Structure formats: C-alpha cells, structure tokens
C-alpha cells in the first residue's frame, strides 16, 4: 500500500496553498511537511510539486492527488459504517469545478437542502465551462459543470438543462448610444463586456445576428461584476436571465435586440467510482436543478 501520510501532506500543501498552512491543518511543523513531500518525491522518483507561490502539483503530483481524493471518497463510504476508522474524523470534502454564472445563480439554492442533511464541505473552483473538464481529466476535481456532453474516461455526464442568456444593457446606456433605436451595424462600436479571453458568448451572439469581426469590449472576470457594470451603463453583454429577473421586470435592464435568447447547455460530470456521497449529490442535482434551467434550446429565435 502507498504511504498515505505522505499523500495527505501533498494534498494539504496544494489545498491550503502553502507549506505553513498545510502544517497548521495537519498539526505538524513546517519542516515535517517538507520532509514528507521530499520523501514522497524520493519514492516516486520525480518532483510532485512546483515550488511556486502557491505551490502547484506537477503532472505526477496531480495523478497522486486524484488518487488521494478518490480514496478519501471511498473512505467516507466506509466511515458511515465504521466511524472510528478515520484518524481525524473530518467532514467529507468534495472538489467541484463550476462556471461563475451557475455559482452566481442556482447552485447555492440547489445545494442548500442537500447540505443541511449531509455532512459535506465543498471546495469550489470557478472555471470557464471547458476548463472544468480539463481539471476533471487531470483528477483535480471529483465533478464539474460544463457545456460539453462527452465525459472523460472514468466519468459520466448527465444533462441538467440549459441556462438562458439574454444580451442586456441599461435603459440609460441604450438611450445614450442609440437614441434612435439600436443599429446592428453600430453595435460593434459601443462597448460590450466580455468575461475573459475564453468567453465567446458575445462573439457568437453577434455572429448569429450576422455581424462578423471584432468589437470593442471591457474584460470583467466576475459574474456579479459583469451584471454591475451593465447596470451602471458601462457596456452591454450576455447575462443569465435567472440573475436579473427583477431588473428585467422593472425595465432597468433591456434586451439589446428584442427576444434573442442564447441557451447554453449544462452537463454534470462526475467520477463513476466517486463514492456514495458523490452519487447522492448527483441524484439530488438531477432531481432539483432542472427547475432553474430551460429544457429546449432556443437560440436567437425571433417571435412571429
């Protein structure tokens, strides 16, 4: 068997983002943690950590972390039967990658009831839709939410429904830039807001309206900040309908082009052998999440 004390040290250094904090969590001295990592590296014959700030796992380190996390999940199943086996009976941790917009809208209410009944600590990683899947493949997370259906080896994916986005701007912004109504041709010249280099939603929206080429934009990698910038009249952008129901109803935010939604599908990817807790969470999500999402995909459909 592996020496799990060494693997636990690796897990703590990566999860806590440093040797000193890992030492605190493990109740060891910092030099003891260092020694365990060095011993682990001697055993596997290569580095497991890149000594940066914060330390990052090497490819080998990632594989070992993946393994530790799977073992922990399996242990937690056993722990239900034999609670005293666990040396330090901590609540089960689950690492999940999800997109900022899900976290800003339906994730917390969906998970709330589950969390009240199950001892569970969540390590959430906010990632663009497709990066989560890379983390899944690298074994850094036990589950992820993403727009791609195809699962990685060892995992399953389940369709939850689609997030409906609308291209929105403040009434004031539209009045300032388009006093005579929105001109599609001029839209590329007024500032959009883009989440980050991987966010192609605004590009796809413009392309679907027949507008090709670049457009001026701010960059704002925060779901809440994105909506705040739009509300403050700084730009237009695609926002989950769920996040702005009140502002839409009050007319504070308006669609840039009437009735042109973009639906983005969401799939829940999870390890097949991720243990009982992950299975229960999966069942819970599949049962409850569709109420917040839309079923059919409708993209830039126009009325009439």
Q: Name the residues that contact a copy of itself, by CB under 8 A.
A: 15-18, 21, 24-25, 54, 90-91, 100, 103-105, 107-109, 111-112, 115-116, 121-126, 176, 191, 196-198, 213-214, 216-225, 228-229, 231-234
Shortest gap between Cβ of 59 and a copy of itself (angstroms)?
A: 13
Cα 191 to Cα 187, 222, 231: the distances in Å are 8, 17, 14
Shortest gap between Cβ of 40 and a copy of itself (angstroms)?
A: 20
Shortest gap between Cβ of 154 and a copy of itself (angstroms)?
A: 23
Shortest gap between Cβ of 184 and a copy of itself (angstroms)?
A: 20
- When the beta carbons of 25 and 294 are compared against a copy of itself, the nearer one is 25
- When the beta carbons of 207 and 301 are compared against a copy of itself, the nearer one is 207
What angle do the packed helices 276-288 and 59-81 form, to 10 degrees? 90
Q: Give the 3-state secondary structure of residue 151.
A: coil
Shortest gap between Cβ of 101 and a copy of itself (angstroms)?
A: 9
Shortest gap between Cβ of 298 and a copy of itself (angstroms)?
A: 26
- Using the Cα atoms of residue 71, residue 72, residue 78 and residue 83 in order, give the sign of their dihedral: positive
- When the beta carbons of 88 and 296 are compared against a copy of itself, the nearer one is 88
Q: Give the 3-state secondary structure of residue 210.
A: coil
With vertex at residue 86, the alpha carbon angle to CA 82 and CA 92, rounded to the nearest 5 degrees, is 95
- Using the Cα atoms of residue 109, residue 291, residue 96 and residue 131 in order, give the sign of their dihedral: negative
Contact 177, 161 (CB under 8 A): no
- When the beta carbons of 214 and 251 are compared against a copy of itself, the nearer one is 214
Shortest gap between Cβ of 18 and a copy of itself (angstroms)?
A: 7
Peptide bond into 213 cis (omega under 30): no
- When the beta carbons of 208 and 216 are compared against a copy of itself, the nearer one is 216
Contacts of 213 (CB under 8 A, 6+ apart): 188
- When the beta carbons of 41 and 231 are compared against a copy of itself, the nearer one is 231
- When the beta carbons of 9 and 111 are compared against a copy of itself, the nearer one is 111
Listed in sequence order, the DSSP H helices in the chain are: 4-16, 19-26, 30-44, 59-81, 100-104, 107-117, 131-137, 171-177, 201-208, 223-231, 245-250, 276-288
- When the beta carbons of 122 and 158 are compared against a copy of itself, the nearer one is 122
Reading the block at residue 91, the tokens are 């609540």
In this structure, the chain runs to a length of 304
Shortest gap between Cβ of 237 and a copy of itself (angstroms)?
A: 12
């Amino acid at each position: 068997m592996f020496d799990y004390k060494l693997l636990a040290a690796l897990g703590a250094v990566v999860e806590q983002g440093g040797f000193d904090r890992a030492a605190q969590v493990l109740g060891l001295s910092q030099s003891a943690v260092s020694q365990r990592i060095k011993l682990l590296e001697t055993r596997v014959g290569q580095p497991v950590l890149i000594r940066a700030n914060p330390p990052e796992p090497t490819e080998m380190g990632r594989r070992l972390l993946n393994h530790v996390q799977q073992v922990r999940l399996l242990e937690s199943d056993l722990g239900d039967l034999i609670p005293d086996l666990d040396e330090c009976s901590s609540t089960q941790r689950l690492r999940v990658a999800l997109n900022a917009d899900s976290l800003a809208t339906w994730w917390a209410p969906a998970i709330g009831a589950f969390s009240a009944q199950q001892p569970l600590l969540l390590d959430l990683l906010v990632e663009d839709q497709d990066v989560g899947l890379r983390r899944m493949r690298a074994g850094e997370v036990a589950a992820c939410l993403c727009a791609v259906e195809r699962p990685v080896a060892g995992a399953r994916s389940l369709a939850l429904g689609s997030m409906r986005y609308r291209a929105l701007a403040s009434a004031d912004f539209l009045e300032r830039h388009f006093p005579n109504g929105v001109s599609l041709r001029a839209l590329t010249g007024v500032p959009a807001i883009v989440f980050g280099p991987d966010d192609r939603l605004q590009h796809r929206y413009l392309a679907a309206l027949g507008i090709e080429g670049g457009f001026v934009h701010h960059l704002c990698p925060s779901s809440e900040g994105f909506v705040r910038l739009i509300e403050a009249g700084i730009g237009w952008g695609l926002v989950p309908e769920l996040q702005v129901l009140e502002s839409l109803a009050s007319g504070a935010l308006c669609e840039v082009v009437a009735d042109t939604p973009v639906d983005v599908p969401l799939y829940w990817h999870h390890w097949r052998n991720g243990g009982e807790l992950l299975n229960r969470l999966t069942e819970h999500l599949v049962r409850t999440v569709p109420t917040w999402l839309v079923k059919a995909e409708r993209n830039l459909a126009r009325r009439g």
